[in-house]
């Protein structure tokens, strides 16, 4: 097949190519992107030319036995950040985004300042009791109507200090853990899929 024959073949499939570019490829590329970025959560880093591993969450190195210790960095029982990554196909393009309010600070890193509220203190006490293994309904070693575990692990003490702090505001450094953005591996996968779809149309 020479160049003229190839050009004629393409012209004969013009409608199929228009459909591919305007409707099908945005869906395909968006799905590939969402799967790619979510795979980074499973591997614990951002996949660009290789895997750029995230700084591990402190809770993973603490002695706590709470449910949070069972999940990887940026993951939780609800997986809100993971699940918030979505694709919005549009004519000729796909927009991949997240509406999670704390997505940007994790993706780019930075400093976060929070006001200490009564609700925050109650939550800190709840987490302290949970991490320390202090439960309701026991008569031995009661502490405020709850039973204290033999020892308080570092994770439990973190929450206790937060509950008792006299500070009006807390400043936290959030390390950069990029999970979304340009990726060489993703670009190569999308290019390969585009070529595959073109070959299907041309029966090559």
Query: Between these two residues, 120 and 67, which has the higher pLDDT value?
Result: 120
Closest by CA position to 119, among listed 76, 150, 162, 85: 162
pLDDT for res 182? 97
pLDDT for res 147? 46
Domain membership flag for residue 33: yes
Domain membership flag for residue 174: no
Domain membership flag for residue 93: yes
Under DSSP, the state recorded for 71 is S
Run of H or E including 112: strand 110-115
Domain membership flag for residue 44: yes
Exposed / middle / buried, residue 21 (Cβ in 10 Å: 0-12, 13-18, 19+): middle
The overall average pLDDT reported for the chain is 85
Domain membership flag for residue 14: yes
User: pLDDT of 108-166, one tens digit each?
Assistant: 999 989 999 999 999 999 999 988 888 765 444 445 545 444 456 888 898 999 999 99
Domain membership flag for residue 151: no
Residue 82 · residue 75 · CB < 8 Å: yes
Strand, coil or helix: what is 183? coil
User: pLDDT of 100-111, one tens digit each?
Assistant: 999 999 999 999
Query: Between these two residues, 78 and 187, which has the higher pLDDT value?
Result: 187
The total domain count for the chain is 1
Domain membership flag for residue 113: no
Closest by CA position to 130, among listed 114, 153, 106: 153
State the residue range of the domain holding 23: 1-54+77-105+180-204
Please state, as a whole number, how many other Cβ atoms lie within 10 Å of the Cβ of residue 129. 22
Domain membership flag for residue 99: yes
User: pLDDT of 13-39, one tens digit each?
Assistant: 889 999 999 999 999 999 999 999 999
């Amino acid at each position: 097949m020479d160049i003229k024959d190839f050009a004629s073949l393409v012209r004969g499939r013009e409608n199929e190519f228009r459909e591919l570019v305007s409707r099908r490829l945005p869906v395909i590329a968006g799905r590939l992107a969402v799967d790619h970025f979510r795979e980074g959560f499973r591997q614990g880093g951002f996949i660009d030319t290789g895997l750029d591993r995230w700084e591990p969450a402190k809770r993973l190195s603490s002695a706590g036995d709470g449910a949070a210790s069972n999940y990887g960095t940026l993951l939780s029982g609800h997986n809100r950040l993971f699940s918030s990554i979505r694709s919005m196909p549009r004519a000729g393009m796909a927009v991949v985004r997240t509406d999670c309010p704390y997505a940007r600070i994790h993706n780019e890193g930075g400093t976060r300042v929070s006001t200490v509220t009564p609700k925050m203190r109650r939550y800190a006490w709840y987490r302290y009791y949970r991490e320390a293994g202090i439960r309701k309904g026991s008569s031995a070693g009661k502490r405020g109507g709850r039973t204290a575990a033999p020892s308080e692990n570092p994770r439990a003490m973190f929450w206790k200090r937060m509950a008792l702090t006299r500070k009006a505001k807390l400043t936290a450094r959030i390390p950069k853990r990029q999970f979304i953005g340009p990726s060489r591996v993703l670009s190569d996968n999308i290019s390969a899929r585009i070529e595959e779809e073109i070959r299907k149309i041309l029966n090559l």
